[in-house]
Copies of this chain bind each other. A is one copy, B any other.
Amino acid sequence: MNQQNTGDIDEQTAALNERHRVRMERKKAIIDAKIASADKQIGIIIVNTGNGKGKSSSGFGMVIRAMGHGMKVGVVQFIKGAMQTGEELFLRRFPEEVSFHSMGEGYTWETQNRERDIEKALQAWEQAKRFLADPEIGLVVFDELNIALKYRYLDVETVINDLLARPAMQHVVITGRGAPPELIAIADTVTEMEVVKHAFKAGIGAQAGTEW
């Protein structure tokens, strides 16, 4: 490569870097303005739904995010519960920081008993309400609550009334497929986890550390 070519490449790189700088400067101005206007601090309701992965694990990621900031956390697992998950095994190490309740007896197709499922769901919601009445708890996670609502084990209107009556600064994360439209309507942040690809379909089983 001769002197002329090296010079061209240097110039090209310099131009690329300058374009990047200008673009990012513009982006920073837009984002800074957005941040300045979004200054409300208030407890929010987050719903993770859809058929893809990451609904529950995102809820548990938020648990440690909150714990990192010194917040107390309450967790109620609806529907799941027959098998101890990694997150449960881990979070039970911190009884002072996380109050963990796992109710139900496995996924609903394991029990095949609707009346027992309803009874378990109602018990779980009683615990949920205790968290929703406690301003010391900064974050509550209701894992797989959407499933209990979808099967009408719990009444969506009752659940919404209890959610809206919680302490002003308390955050709530609700997970599970098929979030009802009434819940989406009152939530602040809703994410649909969509499957692009799933290892299970390729014959890879549920594994400790990734699936449970």
Mark A residues whose CB is within 8 Å of B.
16-17, 20-21, 24-25, 27-28, 31, 34-35, 37-42, 44, 46-50, 52-69, 71, 85-91, 108-115, 138-139, 151, 171, 184, 187-200, 202-210, 212
Partner of A196, one of B63, B114, B190: B190
Partner of A57, one of B65, B196, B208: B65
Copies in the complex: 2
What's the minimum C-beta distance from A25 to chain B, rounded to whole angstroms?
5
What's the minimum C-beta distance from A110 to chain B, rounded to whole angstroms?
6
Q: Are A193 and B191 in contact (CB under 8 A)?
A: yes
What residues on B are CB-neighbors of A66 within 8 Å? 86, 209-210
Q: Are B203 and A40 in contact (CB under 8 A)?
A: yes
What residues on B are CB-neighbors of A203 within 8 Å? 37-40
Q: Knowing that A20-B112, A21-B113, A192-B196 are A-B contacts, what are 13 other residue pairs whose CB atoms are under 8 Å apart, sorted by A's residue number?
A: A16-B114, A17-B113, A17-B115, A24-B112, A40-B203, A41-B207, A44-B210, A52-B192, A61-B62, A68-B89, A184-B196, A188-B202, A191-B194
